[in-house]
Structure 1
Amino acid sequence: MLFRREVLEGIAEGRINRVFRVWAEPPVRAGSTQRTWAGIIVIDSVTSVTPEEITEDDAHHSGFKNREALLTALSKSTKQGGYHRVMLHLGGPDPKSELADNADLTDQELADLKTALDTIDTRSRRAPWTRDVLHLIEEHPGLRAQELAEHLNRDKLPFKADVRRLKALGLTESLETGYHLSPRGKTLMKYLRSQYE
């Protein structure tokens, strides 16, 4: 489930506690969670509603000025299905985000990260790629995945899968468009460059 930046900000600040979607079949259910840059979003309930059941209170707590604005937005959806009210809250910070924010790394931690990259490269079915992808993201923060992949003559989906592996190590972070190096990733890149000086 995708969230606009302003919605995530509203959830993080406690102003927004529900969103509305047009779905034939809800892809989320009560109790499920979703990682976002704002933290872990927890789904409290998913309810099918008619337009008449959507209230002014719903509008205000989903980030809209009024009920009319919310209904207008829903009517413009290109998806087929009925309206659904999704109640949610911020469950806490994403552990991976906390990892990514940690730039105060010991020499041993940096050496371990270098070893992790070496292992990924060694097991790769193609040429080593981890440093190339990290350097590309460092040089082009916010560039779309498709364009980043083209820089390396790669297909987008396999490229995004590789970036997810780097993200799991806390080295990259997703933006609304593209990626950038996390504080942890920037520290590692400085360390890797120092190895060749």
Structure 2
Amino acid sequence: MLFSLRVLEEIVAGRVDLAFRRWRRPTVRPGSRITTAVGVVGIGAVDAVEPADVTDAEVERAGYADRARFLADLREGEDRQLYRVQVRFVGADPREALREQTDLDDRDLDEIVAGLRRLDARSGRGAWTGAVLSLIADHPGVRAADLAARVDREVPRFKSDVRTLKTRGLTESLGTGYRLSPRGRQVLDHLRATAQPEAATTNPRRR
């Protein structure tokens, strides 16, 4: 479920607390949370409704200036049901605070690196976590497609790899590409210092 930046800012301010979507089936569940560009948005009730039953007050609560704009914004399709979704701003993205944490001792760093190596082991393709961190460190702000090509990885799968590292507070998304967070730089230094002898199978190609 995506929101424009304008709507997200209205959710943060408390002026928008409803959203309307036409779906074949709901893509969010009551009680779930969505991480967005402005922080975490919580999902409340998700109810099927008919357009004629949506009140003018609800149209306003969803951020529309009038009913005509509300109706024009709805996705077309006879097989799609209109849903009313309650939304609220929960708070800042916890990854933002995590990626600024650099007061890590060797034990902390060992635990983080151990977690990365477990990811490597489960992947069946070698030490990809260190390879991707190194790639981003060496090429900050480079398009994901260009980075993916360097490691012979499909772009969607590469972006998923980076998101996995981002949940651990190690990377940050930029307008274009990525960079390591302060935490990520510290972890990469430790990862290199404690590198295991086997080589990663996901190595950047030299160009």
TM-score interval for Structure 1 and Structure 2 normalised by the shorter chain: 0.7 to 0.9
Output the CA distance in 1 between the equivalents of 2:170 and 2:27. 29
The C-alpha deviation readout for 1:79-120, integer Å capped at 9, x for no partner, is 940221111112233434432232443454345434444554
Aligned match of 1:184: 183
Spell out the pairing of 1:116-195 with structure 2 (5 A cutoff): 116-121=115-120, 124-138=123-137, 139-141=139-141, 143-144=143-144, 146-174=145-173, 179-189=178-188, 191-192=189-190, 195=193
Per-residue deviation, 1:175 = 5.9
Q: Check whether the contact 1:142–1:175 (CA below 8 A) recurs between aligned residues.
A: no
Q: Which amino acid in 2 is paired with 1:125? A: G
Aligned match of 2:203: none
Q: Check whether the contact 1:172–1:182 (CA below 8 A) recurs between aligned residues.
A: yes
1:59 and 2:59 aligned:
yes
What 5-or-longer segments of structure 1 have no aligned partner? none
Per-residue deviation, 1:45 = 1.1
**Aligned partner of residue 87 in structure 1, secondary structure:** strand
Per-residue deviation, 1:42 = 1.8
Q: Which amino acid in 2 is paired with 1:62? A: A
Spell out the pairing of 1:12-161 with structure 2 (5 A cutoff): 12-75=12-75, 77=76, 80-121=79-120, 124-138=123-137, 139-141=139-141, 143-144=143-144, 146-161=145-160
Q: Which amino acid in 2 is paired with 1:12? A: V
The 3 A distance-change label for structure 1 pair 108 and 174 is: same
Q: Which amino acid in 1 is paired with 2:155? A: K
Per-residue deviation, 1:171 = 0.7
Q: Check whether the contact 1:54–1:67 (CA below 8 A) recurs between aligned residues.
A: no
Per-residue deviation, 1:149 = 1.6
Q: Which amino acid in 2 is paired with 1:21? A: R
What 5-or-longer segments of structure 2 have no aligned partner? 195-207
Q: Check whether the contact 1:35–1:94 (CA below 8 A) recurs between aligned residues.
A: yes
Aligned match of 2:204: none
Count of residue pairs the alignment pairs up? 193
Q: Check whether the contact 1:37–1:97 (CA below 8 A) recurs between aligned residues.
A: no
The 3 A distance-change label for structure 1 pair 15 and 123 is: same
Cα RMSD for the two superposed structures: 3.3
**Aligned partner of residue 89 in structure 1, secondary structure:** strand
Deviates more, 1:19-28 or 1:170-179: 170-179
Q: Check whether the contact 1:20–1:86 (CA below 8 A) recurs between aligned residues.
A: yes
Per-residue deviation, 1:179 = 4.1
Q: Check whether the contact 1:17–1:88 (CA below 8 A) recurs between aligned residues.
A: yes
Q: Which amino acid in 1 is paired with 2:92? A: P
Instruction: Report the TM-score, using the length of structure 2 for normalisation.
Output: 0.72
